[in-house]
Chain A
Amino acid sequence: MKNILTINSLHASIGDKKILHGIDFKIQPGEVHAIMGPNGSGKSTLANVLAGHPSCKVNDGTVEFQGEDLLALAPEKRAQLGLFLSFQNPAEIPGVRLDHFMRAGINAIRRSKNLDDVDILGFDRTITKKAEIVSMNPQLIKRSVNEGFSGGEKKRSEIMQMAVFEPMLAILDEPDSGLDVDALKMVAGGINKLRTKDNSLLIITHYNRILSYVEPNFVHVLIDGKIVHSGDKNLAQEIENKGYDWF
């Protein structure tokens, strides 16, 4: 089967600091991969490099996404190809409504494929349905993006957006951080509902918590910018029991 994502010997830095020291793995359609690692191991940097954050500099290596050289593309082009990043701490955008924000994104992606803009009323109905998947308060959709949202509301909003954008590959950067058990179940349930045989997930997490609800096919352990071990879902449980010190 063809890979959705192929990462070869990826080295990256932020400023003068080298963070990633050679990452290799690949993701096939329908697979769920988890990247686990302690704080400061480079997990979020990996997510940001893949999404094209301007502060991340790639020093070496290649990343192929949907057959294209991902690293050569601007962040918006990556999204237009079907990459989605669920942010750990998404920005607040005063004055831009969440529904307008999503519509601008969807229309930009459609235009890149020479499709017409979405029908506004139809799109509103779509958002309402997608919001239900994560039990998102519908009032929030008409408010400024993330402005005054609680931590949990921001996470739900990110997963709702994933449902709206229907990406080929979604990178979820700590989708569980700061959530209580009920909210975690809701977010994880939403993620599970969105899994298909074609779409893939890359979940970045410190803890096993989310992985006990969203079962991964592969778990990679990232320490000091390198993948030191890969395994199946049982590896996550092992980390839960023994921590990261034994690697």
Chain B
Amino acid sequence: MNKTETTQQIEKAFIEFEKISNSTDPDWIKSIRKESLDIANTLGVPIARRGNEEWKYTDIRSLSKNFFTEFSPYNLNQTHNEINKENLLVDSLHEKIIFKDGICITQMFQKDSYVSNIVTVNEIPSENNAIVKTYLGKITDIQENFFAALNTTFFSFGTFIYIPENTIVSKPIHISIETTNKSENNTMNPRILIVLGSNSKATIIEEYFGIGDKEYLSNSVIEITIGENANLEHYRIQNESLESYGITNTTVWINSSGHYESTVVDIGGKLVRNNLNVITKQEKASAKLNGIYIVNGKQHIDNQVIIDHAMPNTNSRELYKGILSDHSKSVFHGSIIVREGAHKVDAHQVDKNLLLSDDAEADTKPAFWIYCDDVKCGHGAACGKIDESAMFYLQSRGIPEIQARSILIYAFANEIITEISNQFVREYVEEFVQNKLESLIGIT
């Protein structure tokens, strides 16, 4: 697939897309789309090669050409009715929003107006229009990011969450993005914007779930801004189908004394690429970024995490862990930037991988860009197999080999799970991870 070919496809697709979107998009969105289209076409699909550090280990040549031929905006007449309200969850969740095949929207509890679905952009509640206009497309830098630019050109559904200042939402808001064989689109561009006012607090679960054997590309952009002294717990649980390509582009701004906590759980997908950019915009901002990826078969998972310590007295903690089996492959590229004048930054990054087969591969690459003295930065990386002495110890206590193996693998993953502070989410993730591990090790 050469650059011109893709460009032509995308431009052609945009003409079709505009036929529908033009009638509903406000002018400012139209101009955002046009600008993004130019950027996407200038950048072209990234190519894995030497010198291109960001894409060195992830080859997306297998992305089907068809992914760039059609971007149907939305089908307003089509809704799925088969989703039942899961009454049980009303107690555990503040809100649940379900997107199915990029077209269906179910907002379940509607307890308040904090959450709005962007079916069409003009459905944003008018009182929040100014906020959306301030941040949408502004937080994510698309200049160097083809997929974020593509999303910004074609996004058509998503969620806008606005937590006003001094508001504490104690239960999680669950956004579930589901894809089935029935999907009419093979490329989806979900868009999520989260704005936390000062002194507010929220927990958000962003879940991707796919079934069936249809190839698709899910390319989402998540923009988050955390106000002064506000606190966001953000969980991404990714269980896309094994035929899917999943790309997420998340950018987070943290203001003074704000705190961002992210846990990324990746078990699905044929090829998954998570771009996470966290920028401490003001002093005393802090971030904790955890991740666990469990892959087998020929799955490929790539986490690109950039923490930009733009301001002094900010800190970050990163812990990513991977469990890899069969011929699977992982990439962890963690960059920590400390800007000029950002004194007293405290940043620490760790990536650990457990390899369950000789053919699995983990590439881990820390990168530090420090332009300031008086900072504390550290990192650690490890890749290893199951500790055979621990295996023998467990077996010598009567535990069968396969169970011993699963105890050790689960213990490795558990370090991330026990850090999840919300009990509902922790139990949810626990079950999720357990199921994947069971399929991986073959125990029941």
Residues of A in contact with B (beta carbons under 8 Å apart): 51-54, 74-76, 78-80, 84-85, 87, 90-96, 101-102, 104-106, 108-109, 112, 145, 161, 165
Contact = CB atoms under 8 A, between A and B. Distances in A.
A91 B408 CA distance: 12
B399 interface: yes
Interface residues of B, number: 23
Across the A-B interface, give the 4 residue pairs with the lowest CB-CB distance, nearest first: A95-B411, A105-B397, A79-B398, A75-B395
Given A53-B392, A108-B403, A93 B411 contact: yes
Given A54-B388, A91-B387, A79 B407 contact: no
Contact of A165 (B389, B390, B397, B401): B397
B412 interface: yes
Interface in B340-398: 387-390, 392-398
B429 to A, nearest CB: 16
A95 B389 contact: no
B412 A54 contact: no
Contacts, number: 78
Interface of B: 387-390, 392-401, 403-404, 407-408, 410-412, 414-415
Nearest to B410: A95
Contacts of A112: 398
Given A101-B394, A104-B397, A108-B400, 5 more contacts: A53-B392, A79-B398, A87-B393, A95-B412, A96-B407
A76 B414 contact: no
A93 B393 contact: yes
Nearest to A85: B396
Contact of B392 (A75, A101, A102, A108): A75
The interface centre, meaning the residue of B387, B389, B390, B398 with most chain A CB atoms within 10 A of its CB, is B398
Given A54-B388, A75-B395, A87-B393, A96 B400 contact: no
A105 B392 contact: no
Given A96-B408, A104-B407, A79 B395 contact: yes
A223 to B, nearest CB: 27
A95 B414 CA distance: 7
B396 A91 contact: no
Contacts of B397: 76, 79, 101-102, 104-105, 108, 161, 165
Contacts of A106: 398
